[in-house]
Chains A and B, each alone.
Chain A
Amino acid sequence: MTVVDAESRFHVLAVDDSLIDRKLIEMLLKNSSYQVTTVDSGSKALELLGLRDEGDDSSSSPSSSSPDHQEIDVNLIITDYCMPGMTGYDLLKRVKGSSSLKDIPVVIMSSENVPARINRCLEDGAEEFFLKPVKLADMKKLKSHLLKRKQQLPMAAAAPDKPPHKPDEAAASAAAIAEAATAQTDGIISDCSCSGSSKRKAAAMEQEVISSPDQRTKPRLSSTSSGLAVET
């Protein structure tokens, strides 16, 4: 498999109530050659993912947990923690509690370095916790989760479970990234042919993704959440 081809198809759903932060995360992701769709709330994210607001987990509405009802295929969700209404943590719980969505890696961003919060997110299934403002160097970490996910596909059942992050590790790694950001970014700014209105582009992407059957297959992801994955 050629890594570049695989990466170029990765579709990231970014959730943030702040317009400035949506613009920023969108640019960061596009610069790293991801397809990006942005929404301003957790409920819109669930809507886009095809998860109804009510009764998604109850057996009374089995159709809502069927993959057939997923509106778009998303390879990764990156969400702000602090949002009015549904928080990023609530969104994480909804995604992980849904049989059709639980394998999508979720990354949480927050401007506040609260170890208990970070730990709770990581223990409940978040792949990574980024301290805001998010930087180019953080995008590199996303890549490792996406690639790990692809590579694990054939041997997912054999993959050993690893303990979740400790909050201080996550905080320390975020700090280290912040320090190293200026030095490291050169390597990951890649040419990106994205242009024009993001909204229109996102809409076009949704069409494209829906019509591509091979991407509908959801690879299983083991519960490893180590942030120390080797960069490729």
Chain B
Amino acid sequence: MAAAALTSQLNALVNNMFAMGLLDDQFQQLQMLQDSTAPDFVSEVVTLFCDDGERIICELSRQLEKPNVDFDRVDSYVHQLKGSSASVGAQKVKNTCIQFREFCQQRSRDGCLKTLDLVRTEFYDLRNKFQAMLQLEQQIQACYPKH
């Protein structure tokens, strides 16, 4: 059955995300909160995280390109990204944000730029996996007729 194959594919993907340390138990909290009254909760929050993260990473690149970097401003953007990552359970991105904030406090432009590269790679890797996850969920839903 197609749905069963898709479901096992989805489970394998999510398990792999946990195994690789991309996600932590906060993501399980989101999954637990999703029920019949809010069937799209996880996908809504994940989509918000993906959009928000992309916006913040673009803004960070722009801030760090300036001749006089406003490190407090950079720090406040990293703080936002750290908060969103923590809320969806994006463990790896969150941990890199913690390092990033240390470089902001040290006023280290090089440190910030390096960490931005790292957080960007981690974020887009996670986003690709989240998108694959949402796509599989949609395909699974499409296997079942609407009630």
Contact = CB atoms under 8 A, between A and B. Distances in A.
Interface of A: 18-21, 23-24, 27-28, 30-31, 82, 111, 132-133, 135-136, 181-182, 185, 189, 192-195
B41 A27 contact: yes
12 contacts: A19-B52, A20-B87, A24-B45, A30-B37, A111-B83, A132-B86, A133-B26, A133-B89, A136-B32, A181-B29, A192-B35, A195-B38
Contacts of A18: 80, 83-84, 87
A181 B29 CA distance: 9
B25 interface: yes
B118 interface: no
A31 B29 CA distance: 12
Given A27-B41, A111-B82, A185 B87 contact: no
B interface majority secondary structure: helix
The 3 A-B pairs of least Cβ separation, nearest first, read A27-B33, A133-B87, A195-B37
Contacts of A193: 37
A192 B37 CA distance: 7
B41 A21 contact: no
A36 to B, nearest CB: 12
B44 A82 contact: no
Given A20-B83, A111-B82, A194-B37, 6 more contacts: A18-B87, A19-B48, A27-B33, A30-B38, A133-B26, A135-B29
B6 to A, nearest CB: 26
Contacts of B130: none
Given A20-B87, A23-B48, A189 B32 contact: yes
Contacts of A194: 37
A157 to B, nearest CB: 40
A31 B32 CA distance: 10
Given A28-B33, A189-B32, A193-B37, A182 B25 contact: yes
B100 interface: no
B28 interface: yes
A142 B87 CA distance: 19
A158 B41 CA distance: 45
Contacts of B87: 18, 20-21, 24, 132-133
A76 B124 CA distance: 39
B90 to A, nearest CB: 11
